[in-house]
Structure formats: structure tokens, C-alpha cells
């Protein structure tokens, strides 16, 4: 804004001050010539026609620094002061006209003296041009000072106006930074600028709507988790009581399987609730489990479902490292989503394996199907691998992976392969040291 104001002021100076300076210069020179002409006319009144015969002529005293002289038709100086003989202005004035000219460093005006309609002489008045130049210079300096003052005032006004406009914008910027840091309670204050106030009102309305939306989502998550926890807890207690009291050999395995499923459902509710509390990376609070044990439990849980569909599930349990422990509930949820995705949208044999990468583990879930569509959009909510499903599973799996500090990605389209990359530390299982393991992995993530 200061640059705009300064540019506008400079343009105004160029459009106004420069022509004004030229006009002042022309006016001062014209005033000086007029003054010389009046002086010459006043002297011509005192000239008598008898001066030619020797009658003395008394000319008025010239202005300070100037000269005043009377010339006869032969260009001879008869009275006063001036060049000998008469110069060009005197010669022109003998034709009966007032001559204005510049001779050397002087401004000259020559006025004819007439008698009986004849020119009987010429009065020549002159003054130094330097005096006029000095007046022009002084006037221009004054004009320059006024221009500088105008520019200074323009800059001060522009800076003040810029502060008036910038203050609410800076305040709005601070509010936006606070919102990006997670504070949705900040609101932009009104200002004296209508356009900025309109932006601030829109910003505040957006924050209010966003806060209400997040509040409703949090309330829904809390209410749903609370309403699910209570019946799940009651169901677990009922199943545990049934296992303790029922001696029927055929019913006990069913009750045990129902109890495990209920516990797994309880862990799922806890994981979803943990994700809803914060968008940042938050480590799960549940206990850890050995990788080999987790793969074994996952295989036992999903083997029957794939067998019902006439498909095979192969799990490289023996190749899994036995000395590394990972968050069991969260990783189990991610692997469950990937296996369910392979069962619903994939085809053929499904394989689950784990690779030790030193400071991370890579869990691969693959089938014999083909992933169609754009891979970068595969994990967006609402997008599915096929025509069925809600498009939530893979998005939830990726969020769970990020909450663990890992990454979930599609590593191969044919055969379809999803990989969960999970950073781990060199922890020894059961607190026992495995020879060579600490040297291979180190004491933490590389």
C-alpha cells in the first residue's frame, strides 16, 4: 500500500509539478520583460524631439543592475547606458515595433520613440538574465520542498492506512494459525474495514460450523462406544459364566469361540475410539504380542472363512521373527481388514507373510486377483476395490497404520499385494536376549 501511494504521488508530481515548474519559469521571464518594457516606455515619455539638435535628455534611473539608454536613428547612444552602437533589438525597434530579445547575458526590450508618426529614436532597457534565473531557481526549490512534503505526507498517510488494514489481516492470520494448531475456539475480532469484516464473519461462521460438526462426530463416537461397551461387557460376562457352569463338551467350544469373537469386537471398538480422539500419531495402550503368535491367531481366525468359500489361506508363520513384539490389537485389525478385502474382492489363494527389514517389519497380504482403478485413490473413503462394500475398510486400515507410525500401501497390482510397513525396536521376547539379534537390529529404529 505504501508503494502504491508513493507511486500515485510521484505520478501526480510528474503530471502537475513539472508543468507547473515550466509555467513558473516562463511567467518569471515574462514578468521581467514586462517590467523592462514599462521602464522603457516611462523613459520614452521624457524624450523630447529636440534631443536631435542637442537638447539634453534626462532618463529615469534604471532598476538595480539594469541599464537604460536612448539611441538616435543612426544607432548612436545619445543618453543613458548601453552598447555602442545599438544592437539588434534597437535596429528592429527603428521599424516602429517593441522588440524583446536576449543579448548575451541580458534580457533586452527596445521601445521606439515617435513624433509626427516618425520614429525619432529608441529607448533600450536591459537587465541581467542571471537575476531571473536565480528567482526561477528559488521558486523551483520551494516547489521541490512542497513536493517532498507532499510525498512525505502521502507516505505517512499510506503507512497509517496500511496499519489500519494490516492489523485485522494479521489478526485473521493469527486466528488461522491457531486453527491449524487445533484450537477451534478462536474467533476473528471485528475491524473498521467492511471487506475484512465480511471475511472475518465468514471465517467465524466456518469455524462454528466445523466445531459443531466435530462436536457431533465426537459425541456420536463417544455415545456409540459407550452403548457398545455395555452390551459387549455383559455378553462377555454371560459367556464366561456359561463356560464356567456348562459341562457340555459340544457347547463349550462354541461358547469359547463366541467369547473370543466378543473380545475381538471389544478391541475393535477400542481401536476405532482411539483413532477418533486425535488425528495425530498415538500409540495404542493395549499390550504387545509376538509376531509369530499374532500370525498364528490371525490364521486360525480366518482359515475357516476362506475354507467356506472354497479358497486357501497360506500364512508363513514359521518364517516370522519370534523375538519382536508389536501392538497386537491394532496390527490384528489392519491384517483383518486386508484379509477381508482379499476374501470379498480378491480371488484364488490368499497369502500372508512377514519380512524383517532390520528396523521395520513388512506384512504382505496378497491374492491372485487384480486391482483395478487408480492406486492413489484406493484408500479414499467411499471407494471400493469392486462393486460391493462401503469403501471404509482400507481407509480405516491406513489410519490405523499411520497411528502406529507405519504405512499401508498397494505394492503390486497383479497379483494384488498390500504391504503394512511397521517400525519396530530391537526388543527381545520375554525379556530374554537372543544371540546376535541385538547386533543385527540395534537398539532402536535406524
Q: Which residue ranges make up each domain of the chain?
A: 2-141, 194-277, 288-441
Question: Residue 69 belongs to what H/E stretch?
Answer: strand 67-71
Render pLDDT for 93-103 as a digit per residue (tens, 0 to 9).
Answer: 988 899 988 88
Q: What is the pTM of this model?
A: 0.47
For residue 407, give the nearest of 425, 391, 387, 422 by alpha carbon: 422
Q: What percent of the chain has pLDDT over 90?
A: 16
pLDDT of residue 439: 33
Q: Are 371 and 378 in contact (CB under 8 A)?
A: yes
Is the domain spanning 194-277 CATH 1.10.287? The answer is yes
Q: Give the pLDDT band (50/70/90) at residue 311.
A: very high
pLDDT band, very low/low/confident/very high, at 274 (cuts 50, 70, 90): low
Distance CA 278, CA 285 (A): 14
Q: How many angstroms separate the CA atoms of 284 and 327, rounded?
A: 7
First to last CA, the chain: 52
- Averaged pLDDT, 238-256: 69
Average pLDDT, the chain: 80
> Does 114 score more than 70 pLDDT?
yes
Sheet holding 99-103, edge to edge: 77-80, 67-71, 118-128, 106-115, 99-103
Contact partners, residue 103, CB within 8 Å, separation at least 6: 83, 87, 88, 89, 126
At the topology level of CATH, where does 288-441 sit?
Heat Shock Protein 90 (3.30.565)
Separation CA 348–CA 363 (nearest Å) = 19
CA 175 vs CA 179, 180, 186, 195, 279: distances in Å: 6, 9, 6, 17, 20
What is the distance between the alpha carbons of residues 44 and 23, in angstroms, rounded to a whole number?
31
> Which of 397, 439, 434 shows the shortest CA–CA distance to 419?
397
Q: Region 33-60: what's the mean pLDDT?
A: 84
Where is pLDDT greater, at 334 or 169? Answer: 334
CA distance 357 to 423: 9
Q: How many residues does the chain have?
A: 446
The pLDDT of 26-31, averaged and rounded, is: 91
Q: What are phi and psi of 421, to 5 degrees?
A: -100, 120
Rounded (5°) CA angle 119-120-122: 80
Asked if 286 contacts 328 with a C-beta cutoff of 8 angstroms, the reply is yes
**Residues of the chain by 3-state class (helix, strand, coil), percent to 5:** 55, 15, 30
Structure-block grid coordinates of residue 382: 467411499
Listed residue (78, 12, 20) closest to 51, CA to CA: 78
Give residue 34's pLDDT band: very low, low, confident or very high (50, 70, 90). very high
CB 366 within 8 A of CB 312: no
Across the strands, what pairs with 122? 71, 112
Interval 413-435 mean pLDDT: 68
Write down the architecture of domain 2-141 according to CATH.
2-Layer Sandwich (3.30)
pLDDT digits (tens, 9 = 90+) for 139-188: 999 988 988 888 888 888 888 888 877 788 888 888 888 888 878 788 88
Amino acid at each position: 500500500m505504501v508503494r502504491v501511494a508513493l507511486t500515485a504521488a510521484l505520478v501526480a508530481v510528474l503530471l502537475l509539478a513539472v508543468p507547473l515548474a515550466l509555467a513558473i519559469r516562463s511567467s518569471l521571464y515574462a514578468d521581467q520583460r514586462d517590467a523592462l518594457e514599462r521602464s522603457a516606455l516611462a523613459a520614452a515619455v521624457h524624450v523630447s524631439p529636440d534631443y536631435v539638435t542637442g537638447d539634453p535628455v534626462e532618463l529615469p534611473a534604471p532598476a538595480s543592475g539594469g541599464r537604460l539608454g536612448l539611441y538616435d536613428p543612426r544607432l548612436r547612444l545619445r543618453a543613458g547606458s548601453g552598447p555602442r552602437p545599438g544592437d539588434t533589438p534597437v535596429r528592429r525597434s527603428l521599424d516602429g515595433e517593441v522588440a524583446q530579445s536576449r543579448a548575451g547575458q541580458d534580457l533586452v526590450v527596445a521601445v521606439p520613440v515617435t513624433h509626427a508618426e516618425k520614429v525619432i529614436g529608441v529607448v533600450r532597457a536591459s537587465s541581467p538574465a542571471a537575476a531571473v534565473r536565480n528567482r526561477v531557481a528559488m521558486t523551483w526549490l520551494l516547489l521541490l520542498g512542497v513536493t517532498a512534503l507532499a510525498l512525505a505526507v502521502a507516505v505517512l498517510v499510506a503507512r497509517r492506512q496500511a496499519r489500519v488494514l494490516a492489523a485485522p489481516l494479521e489478526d485473521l492470520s493469527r486466528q488461522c494459525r491457531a486453527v491449524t494448531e487445533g484450537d477451534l475456539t478462536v474467533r476473528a475480532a471485528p475491524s473498521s474495514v467492511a471487506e475484512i469484516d465480511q471475511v472475518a464473519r465468514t471465517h467465524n461462521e466456518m469455524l462454528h460450523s466445523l466445531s459443531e460438526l466435530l462436536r457431533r462426530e465426537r459425541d456420536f463416537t463417544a455415545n456409540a462406544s459407550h452403548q457398545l461397551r455395555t452390551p459387549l461387557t455383559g455378553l462377555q460376562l454371560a459367556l464366561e459364566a456359561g463356560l464356567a457352569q456348562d459341562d457340555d463338551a459340544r457347547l463349550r467350544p462354541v461358547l469359547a469361540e463366541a467369547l473370543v469373537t466378543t473380545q475381538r469386537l471389544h478391541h475393535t471398538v477400542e481401536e476405532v475410539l482411539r483413532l477418533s480422539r486425535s488425528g495425530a500419531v498415538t500409540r495404542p495402550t493395549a499390550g504387545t504380542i509376538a509376531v509369530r503368535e499374532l500370525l498364528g491367531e490371525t490364521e486360525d481366525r480366518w482359515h475357516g472363512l476362506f475354507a467356506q468359500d472354497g479358497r486357501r489361506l497360506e500364512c508363513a508363520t514359521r518364517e516370522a521373527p519370534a523375538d519382536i513384539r508389536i501392538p497386537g490389537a491394532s496390527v490384528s485389525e489392519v491384517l483383518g481388514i486386508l484379509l477381508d478385502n482379499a476374501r470379498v474382492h480378491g480371488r484364488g489363494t490368499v497369502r500372508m507373510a512377514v519380512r524383517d527389514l532390520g528396523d521395520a517389519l513388512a506384512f504382505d497380504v496378497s491374492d491372485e486377483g487384480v486391482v483395478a482403478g487408480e492406486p492413489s485413490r484406493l484408500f479414499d473413503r467411499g471407494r471400493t476395490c469392486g462393486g460391493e462394500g462401503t469403501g471404509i475398510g482400507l481407509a480405516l486400515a491406513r489410519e490405523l497404520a499411520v497411528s502406529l507410525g507405519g504405512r499401508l500401501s498397494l505394492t503390486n497390482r497383479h497379483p494384488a499385494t498390500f504391504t503394512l510397513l511397521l517400525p519396530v525396536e530391537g526388543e527381545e521376547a520375554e525379556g530374554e536376549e537372543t544371540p546376535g539379534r541385538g547386533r543385527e537390529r540395534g537398539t532402536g529404529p535406524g
